[in-house]
Amino acid sequence: MTRFALTLEFDGTPFMGLQRQPHGPSVQQCVEEAAHAVTGEDVTLYSAGRTDTGVHALAMRSHLDIEKDITPFRLLEALNAHLRPSPIAVTHCEAVDEEWHARFSCIGRRYLYRIANRRAPLTLDKNRAWQVAQELDAEAMHRAAQALVGQHDFTTFRSVHCQAQSPVKTLDRLDVERVGEEIHIHAAARSFLHHQVRSMVGCLKLVGQGVWREEQVAEALEARDRQALGFNAPPHGLYFVEATYPEQD
């Protein structure tokens, strides 16, 4: 048996999320079915993150175990052939030690949230960015975001369906920058709570609009109460960007 590490790129629009779901298509289901078509084996895909419905990935790290004697290059080519026309691509494939695990070996995860800050309708970026027509103050959003960096109880920014044992997480980075017509929000941590990034973005958007004072983000955090949340940003602006592992340090 060989353990193969995969890097997946996907458009999350048609999927119920990455993880296999009983009520609709998932990225995991598509990759597992493609692997079965290639090898004849029933395999399970494990991934660094669990993206929600409509969330995208630029480089999701995953792995699967295969008995068939096959090279990484041929597996990559065969998987991509069988994944068509689903909007999923295997961009990298390599054999790894059987102790390596896409989820449990991961020591860092990074996300990008894109806000299209313009009045004109989106064409090329429809379902790939959150359109906000009102002018946003990216500098105010960035200043407010810094209150969330560090170790905190993120109960306010946690979904009621979150299965994490503790609401305490350490946020390593939350930066906001304007890039032309877009606002980019970069978030990095060892791990995140369910809906944490989208919840933080929703509050920062209120700051950018002037609806919230900058200090209200810190006040919402301190409340440790979901009722203090502004709202969740929609999923289609969110991208899983990178998973890091000890050998990458």
Long-range CB contacts (within 8 A, 24+) of 29-32: 30/83, 30/86, 30/88, 31/6, 31/62, 31/64, 31/79, 31/83, 31/88, 31/90, 32/64
Residue 1: name the closest of 69, 50, 60 by CA.
69
Contacts of 81 by beta carbon, 8 Å cutoff, 6+ apart: none
In DSSP notation, 186-247 reads EEEES---TTHHHHHHHHHHHHHHTSS-THHHHHHHHHT-GGG---PPPGGGEEEEEEE-GG
Note the Cα 203 to chain centre separation in Å: 18
Here the tokens at position 23 are 């009520």
In DSSP notation, 47-64 reads ES----TT-EEEEEEEEE
Count the Cβ atoms, other than its own, within 10 Å of residue 174: 25
**19 phi/psi in degrees, rounded to 5:** -70, 140
**52 tagged catalytic:** yes
With beta carbons less than 8 A apart as the criterion, state whether 191 and 163 touch: no
Candidate list 52, 65, 137, 249, residue with the active-site label: 52
- List, by residue number, the catalytic residues: 52
